[in-house]
Amino acid sequence: MNQFQYVRPTKAQAAIEAVAKDANATFIAGGTNLVDLMKRGIATPQKLVDINRLPLARIDHDPGKLRIGALALNSAVADDKQVRERQPLLALALNAGASAQLRNMATVGGNMLQRTRCSYFYDLTMPCNKREPGSGCGALEGINRMHAIFGFSDKCIAVHPSDMSVALVALDATVLVTGPKGERTIPFADFHRLPGDTPEKDTNLERGELITAVDIPDGPFTKHVHYQKVRERASYAFALLSVAAALDIENNTIKAARLAMGGVAHKPWRLTAAEQSLVGKPATEATFRQAAEVAMQGAKAFKHNAYKLKLAPNTIIQALKTAAAA
């Protein structure tokens, strides 16, 4: 690992300034992704700004919304009684991610900003436009079985690995950010980016911007929810593909629906057209099959990931059936 300076500010403004003014400085929270990248020589910051002394770990149970601090641990959020009652989909997605030990270190902000698990990104001997812009994409003609079927470009076909973010995009969360230019809020759906010509940029955060919290508005999705994660072994593995499903059902008719997929695009993939197709229909397998068809419109596979074109609709149907039965 390269040598680096390490600072632990107690004020958000000092942390923001330290990163905004120095192109080689970066925030560190739980360190479960960043330290890994540093050990492998993929991230080479010269200054680590540890944000763990900032007061950003609270979970506020406000009327109408939950406000979850950026430093709240994944395990603390998943175990929080009000999160489980008001946003059970989020708790399910969090508990599907990583291992109990990792969830005890990983923070909400860090989880959203974890980098792709594309194996070419992790292999310094291979070309990767995300790691080294302009070097090419090893996955495009390589082993691309984990890769995207939506929203990719010829520069990058990687997927975003966070489980929590799939639930947050479905739940219409908002990200609260403070930076050199002040505070702003970013709708979760606009937080992560598609690769386009600049796959090195995972999100729309600007240099020095610190995530302070995530707001989740209350909704009717307190009962009929499910997070279905398909992975190669039962635990401790990233998703091949995942589906967050939430339904509001009255007299077997769907009044509202939320649907998002993970492991299929460079960002958590919200399925708004499929959601609309569900509303007003009976909560039956036929309805769910139609929604899955709508969801898959525009999907395109590469040499090794065509299985996702079948796996995705089947997982959507299964997730909706399980949510409806909950």
Ligand X SMILES: Cc1cc2nc3c(=O)[nH]c(=O)nc-3n(C[C@H](O)[C@H](O)[C@H](O)COP(=O)(O)OP(=O)(O)OC[C@H]3O[C@@H](n4cnc5c(N)ncnc54)[C@H](O)[C@@H]3O)c2cc1C
Can you give the binding site for ligand X, defined by CB under 6 A?
A: 26-34, 36, 51, 70, 97-98, 102, 105-107, 109-111, 113-114, 161-164, 210-211, 238
Tell me whether residue 3 or residue 125 sits nearer to ligand SF4 (CB atom): 125
Hunting for tokens 């039956």 — which residue is that?
Answer: 284
Residue 150 binding target from ligand SF4, ligand X, none, CB below 5 to 8 Å by type:
none
Minimum CB distance to ligand X, residue 224 (Å) = 23
Structural tokens at position 276: 């609309």
Minimum CB distance to ligand SF4, residue 156 (Å) = 3
Residue 113 binding target from ligand X, ligand SF4, none, CB below 5 to 8 Å by type:
ligand X
Nearest 5°: the CA angle 191, 192, 197 is 130
Residue 70 binding target from ligand SF4, ligand X, none, CB below 5 to 8 Å by type:
ligand X
Residue of minimal Cβ distance to ligand X: 110
Return the H-helix or E-strand segment holding 167. helix 164-170
Q: Please give the sequence-ordered ranges of beta strands (E in DSSP) within the chain, or none if there are none.
A: 5-7, 25-28, 47-50, 59-62, 65-69, 174-179, 182-187, 210-217, 224-230, 241-250, 253-262, 269-270
Structural tokens at position 165: 């973010």
Could you tell me which of 256, 156, 92 has the C-alpha nearest to residue 148? 156
Residue 166 binding target from ligand SF4, ligand X, none, CB below 5 to 8 Å by type:
none
Minimum CB distance to ligand SF4, residue 302 (Å) = 10
Nearest 5°: the CA angle 204, 210, 211 is 75
Minimum CB distance to ligand X, residue 301 (Å) = 23
Identify the three-state secondary structure at position 6. Answer: strand
Tell me whether residue 76 or residue 257 sits nearer to ligand X (CB atom): 76
Structural tokens at position 60: 């506020």
Minimum CB distance to ligand SF4, residue 88 (Å) = 33
Residue 97 binding target from ligand X, ligand SF4, none, CB below 5 to 8 Å by type:
ligand X
